[in-house]
Amino acid sequence: MARVTVINDSSEFLDLMRDLLASLGHEMIGFEAVESSIEQIVDSRPDLLIVDLRLQDTPQVMSGWELLVLARSHRHLLSVPVILCSADTWELSKRAADLEEIAGVHVRTKPFDMDDMCDLITRLLDEPQPTRLPA
């Protein structure tokens, strides 16, 4: 059983992902917001991160982009694969070049095909990952 951390400001999306991940035999840790510290994510010890690009727009809550950048610079999350989700295709296209430079990030636009998402999650969790440092 893998541990998947999902960050999305929609409780409906979190419920959907909890059901999907449970059907695949995985555990989900969900956050509607991550406030000022990546440590919440580190403490969840994820094997996979699923992050919404556009999270609550408040100063104390990190955006999905900020979270992605911090995850890729944190020694405990560096090798964790990330699925970046968003309905904001304009923002995704604006960041396309940056996303190509960031290793281990896979983009899915919302709404996504459920079979495609299941296949991607399974593939990412089945791929050998570099050894992770203990938390």
- Does position 132 have pLDDT exceeding 60, yes or no? no
- Lowest mean per-residue pLDDT among 34-48, 50-64, 106-120: 50-64
Cα distance between residue 66 and residue 125, in whole Å = 24
Q: Model confidence over 49-65: pLDDT tens digits?
A: 999 987 766 666 788 88
pLDDT at 57: 63
* Cβ pair 23, 1 in contact under 8 A: no
Q: What percent of the chain shows pLDDT beyond 70?
A: 90
Confidence band, pLDDT 50/70/90 cuts, at residue 45: very high
Q: How confident is the prediction for the chain on average, in pLDDT?
A: 86
Q: What is the reported pLDDT for 94?
A: 82
Q: What is the mean pLDDT of residues 104-111?
A: 88
> Has residue 74 got a pLDDT over 70?
yes
